[in-house]
Structure 1
Amino acid sequence: CILSHPIKNTNDANSCQIIIPQNQVNRKSDIYVCMISYAHNVAAQGKYIAIASTTVETSEPEKEIEPALELLEPIDQKFVAISDLYEPIDDGAESQVFCSCSYDATTHFETTCNDIKDIYKRMVGSAFDFENMKRKQNDVFGEADQ
């Protein structure tokens, strides 16, 4: 959706993420709202871009996001799209072709990050070791290793 205002009750934030819990709207899946704005150079001055998403559960998908759309009113322009979700059927071990899953409805990228970690593990044979990536207390950004 394109808006001419920030989302109500967000202290006029230029960006925000809202998760409407499934049990509050009698659903099996949460509804996600992500809003960004001109402050992020993605819209004209004074404009806001809001994305409402969820996993389709009925034959009336647009109706399923009504609780999110109500938060965004008034809406200047609304675009509706439904996307299928895909996931690889081959782990890539034999073919050496490692495919990711489709993006899902979430807006916090947790499932995408988990997918990236899974691809790494399938490619290398072991989980990525984040401990090796931790910065030391006296590390200075941009400083070359000595």
Structure 2
Amino acid sequence: MNVFSTAEFEYLRSQPLARLATVGADGMPRVKPVGFLLDTATGGIVIGGYAGTGMASSRKFRDVQATAEVALVVDDLAEVDPWTPRGVEIRGRAEARTTGGAETGERLGAAFPLDPAWILVVPRRVVSWGLAASAFEVSARDVLPKAG
């Protein structure tokens, strides 16, 4: 299942980094750079750390356990002159999973072995710009993928 348009999907596949925004149990927002993988079977985004780095003890993992509401932004500049920003914002719920990271990473072709703990972002809303149209034209829609 793919919740992304063809342009969004191709763009996300071309990008190595994103920024994950979470909210902790204390109500404080946080943003962290993360690597990610697209899971076309579920329409979700997989975030995992390198095996042995202790993803389950990270602040982002604990924030997801506490509130589950997240946003993930992948963006860059296609050109600087003229100014041509492009990107995808994914808003949704995240699931903190304590097992299965290695298998999930292997199934999705991760460049390195993943830690057992990982995060699945289940999109609810997708906003994109600068991909299929003008850099200043926004596409936004609600999506309801199958939970993974």
**TM-score surpassing 0.5?**
no
Higher relative contact order (CA 8 A, sep 6+): 2
TM-score w.r.t. length of structure 1: 0.31
Per residue, is there more strand in 1 or in 2?
A: 2
TM-score w.r.t. length of structure 2: 0.30
Rg larger in structure = 1
Per residue, is there more helix in 1 or in 2?
A: 1
